[in-house]
Amino acid sequence: MAAKRVLLDLNFPAFQADLFNLDVSELKPVLKTLRKLRGLDWPTLYRDHGLNWEQIKDAPGRFTIRLSQRSRAVVRRDGDYVRFIALHTDHDSAYGKK
């Protein structure tokens, strides 16, 4: 049986607000990573060192994923979907750190 493809849900209002506020130089690498994610299956996503999928210790069921050198997203897995919750241009803020 083939591994399930990763599906993206980019509809969370806070994520969209953060995404639409990126400047063009930061938006391009984020969109490149989102395209990459669409082509992956779940086992490959978990193994990809560049994406660096990590669980947030203080938020069960929530994870961070690297979208660019500067940006990380807070996400959760819902079946085959990665649901994007927030986008942070400061990596530490994705983990709730200041």
Domain ranges of the chain: 7-94
The pLDDT score that the predictor gives to residue 93 is: 52
* pTM as predicted: 0.86
The pLDDT score that the predictor gives to residue 1 is: 62
Residues in the chain, pLDDT under 70: 1, 90-98
Query: What Å distances lie between residue 97 and 3, 4, 57, 92, CA to CA?
Result: 34, 33, 12, 5
As a whole number of angstroms, the distance between CA 70 and CA 30 comes to 9
As a whole number of angstroms, the distance between CA 30 and CA 71 comes to 8
As a whole number of angstroms, the distance between CA 9 and CA 56 comes to 19
CATH topology of domain 7-94: YaeB-like fold (3.30.2310)
The pLDDT score that the predictor gives to residue 98 is: 42
Give the 3-state secondary structure of residue 1: coil
Query: What Å distances lie between residue 44 and 13, 32, 40, 55, 64, CA to CA?
Result: 28, 17, 6, 16, 16
As a whole number of angstroms, the distance between CA 40 and CA 13 comes to 25
